[in-house]
Structure 1
Amino acid sequence: MLFHVRMDVNIPSALPEAEAAAIKAREKAYSQELQSSGQWRHLWRIAGQYSNISIFDTASIDELHTLLSTLPLFPYMKIEVMPLCRHPSSIRSNDL
């Protein structure tokens, strides 16, 4: 199943910089593992914001929830999820 996911990050300014840097490093490593596995298919930064738009490919919404809730930055995120399905007018057959 494909999901469009928007993640807006808001790290509290009171969080010590060293702790924030460590969380970001863990987030980067985990996100790259998920991208390598094919579960995190696309990742784009939203220009001018600490936000991204991503496409996830998981077997279920429960699996997606598990992946998102184990992101190191999850406690500092607002997340919007939209399930996707193929549009009948799409000319692409390789984007499933």
Structure 2
Amino acid sequence: MLFHVKMTVNLPHDLPADQTAEILQREKAYSQSLQSQGKWRHIWRIAGHYANISIFDVADNDELHALLSGLPLFKFMDIEVMPLLRHPSAVRDDDR
């Protein structure tokens, strides 16, 4: 199943710099691992915001929830999820 996920990060201003750096390092490694596995298909930064739009390709809602809640930044995020399916008027059968 494909999901459109908007993630907005709200790091506390009083979070120590070394703790922030460590969380961001773990977040990058985790997200890149999911991208390499093909589960996190696309990620785009939203200009002017500490946010992204991503496309996930997972088996079901439970898998998506498990992946998102595993994000090191999860507790600092506002997340919006929209399930996607191919439109009948699409001219391609893939994501090109």
Q: Same fold (TM over 0.5)?
A: yes
Structure 1: gaps of 5 or more residues: none
Alpha-carbon separation, structure 1, partners of 2:4 and 2:48: 20
Q: Identity percentage over the alignment?
A: 67
Q: Shift in Å at residue 92 of structure 1?
A: 1.4
Aligned-residue RMSD, C-alpha: 1.0
CA drift of 1:64 comes to 0.1
Runs of 4+ aligned structure 1 residues displaced above 6 Å come to none
In the alignment, what sits opposite 2:52? 52
- The alignment partner of 1:88 has SS state of coil
What is the CA-CA distance between 1:68 and the residue it aligns to? 0.1
Report the AA paired with residue 36 of structure 2.
S
Give the distance between the partners of 1:79 and 1:92, measured in 2 at CA.
29
1:31 counterpart = 2:35: no
For residues 12-91 of structure 1, what are the structure 2 equivalents within 5 Å? 12-91=12-91
Q: Specify every segment of 5 or more residues in structure 2 that has no aligned partner in the other structure, as ranges.
A: none
Return the TM-score normalized by structure 2.
0.98
